Amino acid sequence: MVGLMIAGSAILLIGIGCLHVYWAFGGSWGSNHVIPKSAKLEHPVFSPGKFVTLFVSFLLFLAAGLLILQGGLFKFVYPNILVNAGCWACMIVFGLRVVGDFKYFGLFKKVRHTLFSRYDTYLFIPICAWFCFIFYIAIQIGR
């Protein structure tokens, strides 16, 4: 059962990484829901470029690989100290994403009436909390 949860989470990470590649090469589906907007002007708080978006996709693919290795889905490859440290880093990053920046995203955000904030509350925070949890589980399995 745990292996299935880890595999499903890795597939989700790969899917989100593919979505970032799609956005990096000009795709627009869903892109207006994933960038926080200012409270008054409804302008994007930041505008990530192609390189940054591709880098995020690379990190998501890397996180999926770490999760697969640490979770023991490939029996012929044993997790080592680097894989374990990478999983700890992923768990911390996803945990920090859940907490947020105290203004635009996360549990303690102040701007709560934008489209992004609704998606953040009902989709992005729960997904990041799940990833934080599943990396913790994988770390416990890989010991």
Amino acid 57: pLDDT: 97
Inter-CA distances, 43 with 5, 18, 63, 100, 117, Å = 37, 26, 31, 19, 13
Percent of the chain with pLDDT over 70: 99
When comparing pLDDT for 77 and 132, which is higher?
132
Query: What is the Cα–Cα distance from 29 to 37, expressed in whole angstroms?
Result: 17
* Per-residue tokens: 42: 């409804």
Amino acid 15: pLDDT: 97
pLDDT in tens, 38-92: 777 677 888 888 999 999 999 999 999 999 999 888 877 777 899 999 999 999 9
Amino acid 91: pLDDT: 97
Q: pTM of the full predicted structure?
A: 0.91
Question: ∠117-120-121 over CA atoms, to 5°?
Answer: 90
pLDDT at 140 over 90: yes
* Per-residue tokens: 106: 């996360």
Read off the pLDDT of each residue in 118-127 and give the average, rounded to a whole number.
Answer: 95
**Rg (alpha carbons) of the chain, rounded to whole number:** 16
Domain boundaries, the chain: 2-26+46-141
pLDDT at 10 over 70: yes
Mean of pLDDT over the chain: 91
